[in-house]
Structure 1
Amino acid sequence: MRPESDFNFYSELPELSDLLGLLDQSAFQSAPNDWSVLVTDVENSTQAIEQGLYKEVNILGAPTIIAVSNACNGASFPFVFGGDGATCLIPNSKVQHVGSVLATLRNHALLQMSLKLCIGFVPVSTIREKGADIKVAKQSLPAGFKLAHFTGGSLALADKLVKKQIDIYGLPPQKSHQQIDLAGLECRWNDVPSANGQIMTLIVRPKKFNLNELKPLLDLLNRLMPLSNPVRTDNLPITWPPQHLGAELALKIENSWYRWWRKKCLLGWTWLLSKITASTVNDPNSTAGKHFRAVGINADHLKFDDCLRTVLDVNEGESKELEALLLQLYSEGKLNYGIHYSDRALMTCFVHSLEKHIHLIDGADGGYAYAAKRLI
């Protein structure tokens, strides 16, 4: 394996100072030609959602990111969680190893969850040959992770190529004995209820990838923050048992007996933790109090991957204001958008430690997947 200096492109990128920094084109830099876009997507996700399995679909998107990170020795790389899948940008030198790891994940997910993961790699050089570009910016989160933003039309093209030309860009079916490391995958928070009235999952696609068309929307979102953040100290649920623990362990542990034993141990641990948390969370100097504050500000509830993707906790007046602005900008030919509403948000976590963690957010009952299908 080549040294992790392969990842210097991303580690050396300047960081956005705030949300409106997305409008500064100089913040985005072209990705190297010797990198590739990795696309993963849960096949037939609509059918699974209709069967009430969106959390299972949702949690299968997150392990892609975690498996790639662990396979690359924790190196920082650009990624976007999309609800029913994920997109990553990695050096070509890592593609073979990462592909072998993800083949194992795909086989395991099919066996344990009856869900099939579509996986493909598209070289950045191919994307440029086809007339698109891939530019990346990053935003530093307080707990150590970097939130990536993409523009240039590349991710939409890569997704299309993988789905339409799977024989060329897809990872072929294979028996893989490559060990998969999903350390850090945690799904121990129950669904986060809306505090303001409703959870809005929103996807906005500016015409011709012109981010300046989004300025009125970004101004409004900037005004609504941080109270529209769907994950805050006042609505994080201190409830037990963790309803999605089984899905986490199904992906992480193959042996059924050990999975049963591990679940029993974790149920005991999380019960004790819930009691300690409930009694100390209101103390801002306690471990629980500090962690609760850290979760919300280290969530990926607003990002840009050729589309603006955001999950918001809004009241009726705020949702009407947002919809009116979106309709106005749509009628002016500046963007397309899709919205899905639910009463709660889903959260899947990537936890290295109490000091380094990121929380991947989506709306419940379809979230980003349904918002994408409702794009107008």
Structure 2
Amino acid sequence: MNDHFYRDLISFNDFSGIGEFEGYQPVPDDWVVLAADIVRSRDAIAQGRYKDVNLVGAAVISAVLNKLGREEIPFVFGGDGAIVLVPKSQQDAGREALAGVAMLAREDAGLDLRVAAIPVTDLRARGTDIKLRKFELSPGNYLAMAIGNGIELAERILKDEEAVKAYTVPSDQAEFPMLDGLSCRWEPIPSLNGKMLALIVRPGQEGLLPRIVTGMTEAIGFNPVSEAAANRIVTSKNLRFRFPPSSLDTEVQLKGRISGRLAYRLRALLECAAFVWGYVTKLRVGPFRPKPYLAEISRNTDHRKLDDSLRMVLDLSESQIAGLKHYLETACRSGDLVYGLHESPSALMTCFVTDLAQSQHIHFVDGADGGFAAAAADLQTRLRPVARAGNRAADPAGPPFLPDAEPDASAAARP
């Protein structure tokens, strides 16, 4: 019964419903958080390798879902890592997938992917929780929304070299992971309004999310959690595809070991040629139907999510960004929130397609040149002085989104 917890969750399809906290359901006690994070991702960003970083982060999700099934497993893409939750009965298979991606990242991409398996009961013992809702992007395509600060605590444990030792998943004897459907063939997606803004907002206490959304709406002139067209940052106007894709080398390097990289490259080039022909002619090529697929991409992006913090990629003008910064800084000083952001001229998109004929595909979006990883680092610069001031947004054991937390739970929560 517990194994089908996520599959059986009732979904919602209006993103503004993220603030309806009564709809979130606690993850079963016997579930496990599989967490992955690229160590020193800022070094890779400085080397211009953020597309590689994104591909490895998405590979974590691809590997686990290909092994365990996409309907059963909730996940969150974080840019330089990912979180996946699995039932205890699937823990070993999930750990194998995680280890495989860590091995692949190390040997074929030169990136150190730290991976861990943290029981939900351990996170609850430290005063946090993980409660989920299932957001429907389009029929059959879902994103997990999480509250309770358990995800935040898991990420903090993962980034702490000492705290993570008890949960580390070894990868020295790992098998090659299944990465079917994972690709990164679209060109960077340019901003249509000025800049792509990768934004992380952590509310300071429970119940503040609606007020924060109202403040953001007033600052930028539209509601960032509504289903308005302004919130679709990937459209036919800024989708770019070239032949061959500029990022094909990254994909070949990561995925081409089993079949041989030359064979993989040739097959990928044939797929790209068929895609371009269908894209230009608007004619169907096998399961690829250009017109509906391009419309589906616009809906099936993960550029808005809630995983204890509100994470968004927004396409804004310079004046909108200035207004948003002013609001966020004011709200941060008042203790309503802590935030981090990163501006770039474009966004990156990594695709995970499981069944093109059935429109089963999700697209992971991040800001270019650092995106969410840079925004998280920016948030940390504000988090330290806020923590010293006693703001609850700095405490993963208390609010936001943990109604039952006691005021003194923070000490127990810190790994």
TM more than 0.5: yes
Q: Aligned to 2:213, which of 212, 215, 225? A: 215
Taking the TM superposition and a 5 Å limit, the aligned residue runs for 1:343-362 are 343-354=345-356, 355-362=359-366
SS of equivalent to 2:28: coil
Residue 13 of structure 1 and its aligned partner are, at CA, apart by 1.5
Q: Structure 2 counterpart of 1:93, which letter? A: S
Residue 44 of structure 1 and its aligned partner are, at CA, apart by 1.1
- CA distance in 1 between counterparts of 2:134 and 2:182 reads 22
Residue 173 of structure 1 and its aligned partner are, at CA, apart by 4.1
Aligned to 1:277: 279
Unmatched 5+ stretches in structure 1: none
- Report whether the alignment pairs 1:199 with 2:202: no
Aligned to 2:403: none
- CA distance in 2 between counterparts of 1:29 and 1:190 reads 38
Q: Structure 2 counterpart of 1:171, which letter? A: V
- 8 Å Cα contact 2:346-2:367 kept in structure 1: yes
- CA distance in 2 between counterparts of 1:78 and 1:56 reads 23
Deviations 1:319-367 (A, max 9, x none): 2232232223223210011110111110001101221000000000000
- 8 Å Cα contact 1:326-1:337 kept in structure 2: yes
- 8 Å Cα contact 2:15-2:226 kept in structure 1: no
- CA distance in 1 between counterparts of 2:267 and 2:30 reads 45
- Report whether the alignment pairs 1:175 with 2:177: no
Aligned to 2:249: 246
Query: In terms of mean alpha carbon deviation, does 321-330 or 117-126 score higher?
Result: 321-330
- Report whether the alignment pairs 1:127 with 2:123: yes
Residue 143 of structure 1 and its aligned partner are, at CA, apart by 4.7
- Report whether the alignment pairs 1:50 with 2:60: no
- 8 Å Cα contact 1:348-1:359 kept in structure 2: yes
- Report whether the alignment pairs 1:60 with 2:56: yes
Q: Aligned to 1:332, which of 331, 334, 339? A: 334
Deviations 1:20-61 (A, max 9, x none): 211111111111100011110011101111111111111100
Residue 221 of structure 1 and its aligned partner are, at CA, apart by 1.2
- Against the structure 1 CA distance between its residues 143 and 182, is the aligned structure 2 distance closer, same or farther, given a 3 Å change threshold? farther
- 8 Å Cα contact 2:33-2:117 kept in structure 1: yes
Aligned to 2:25: 29
- CA distance in 1 between counterparts of 2:86 and 2:156 reads 19
Deviations 1:75-114 (A, max 9, x none): 4321110000001111112111221222222112211111
SS of equivalent to 1:227: helix
- 8 Å Cα contact 2:216-2:324 kept in structure 1: no
Taking the TM superposition and a 5 Å limit, the aligned residue runs for 1:254-333 are 254-255=257-258, 258-280=260-282, 287-333=289-335
Q: Structure 1 counterpart of 2:46, which letter? A: E
- 8 Å Cα contact 2:36-2:115 kept in structure 1: yes
SS of equivalent to 2:205: helix
Q: Structure 2 counterpart of 1:331, which letter? A: R
- 8 Å Cα contact 1:150-1:306 kept in structure 2: yes
Aligned to 1:233: 236
Deviations 1:250-281 (A, max 9, x none): 222214x7211221232243134214312329
Q: Aligned to 2:185, which of 180, 183, 188? A: 188
Aligned to 2:8: 12
CA RMSD of aligned residues (A): 2.0
- CA distance in 1 between counterparts of 2:156 and 2:345 reads 31
TM-score by length of 2: 0.83
Q: Structure 2 counterpart of 1:139, which letter? A: F
Taking the TM superposition and a 5 Å limit, the aligned residue runs for 1:64-79 are 64-79=60-75
Q: Aligned to 2:114, which of 118, 126, 149? A: 118
Q: Structure 2 counterpart of 1:157, which letter? A: L
Residue 179 of structure 1 and its aligned partner are, at CA, apart by 4.6
- CA distance in 2 between counterparts of 1:280 and 1:144 reads 24
Aligned-pair identity in percent equals: 36
Q: Aligned to 2:86, which of 83, 86, 90? A: 90
- 8 Å Cα contact 1:76-1:146 kept in structure 2: no
Deviations 1:173-194 (A, max 9, x none): 4312x35211111111111111
- Report whether the alignment pairs 1:372 with 2:376: yes
- Against the structure 1 CA distance between its residues 331 and 152, is the aligned structure 2 distance closer, same or farther, given a 3 Å change threshold? same
- CA distance in 2 between counterparts of 1:105 and 1:90 reads 17
- 8 Å Cα contact 1:61-1:81 kept in structure 2: yes
- Report whether the alignment pairs 1:102 with 2:106: no
- Against the structure 1 CA distance between its residues 276 and 70, is the aligned structure 2 distance closer, same or farther, given a 3 Å change threshold? closer
- 8 Å Cα contact 1:143-1:357 kept in structure 2: no
Deviations 1:286-341 (A, max 9, x none): 92121111101000000000111101111223222322322232232100111101
- 8 Å Cα contact 2:63-2:179 kept in structure 1: yes
Q: Structure 1 counterpart of 2:249, which letter? A: G
Matched pairs, number: 366
Q: Structure 2 counterpart of 1:190, which letter? A: E
- CA distance in 1 between counterparts of 2:299 and 2:85 reads 24
Residue 218 of structure 1 and its aligned partner are, at CA, apart by 6.4
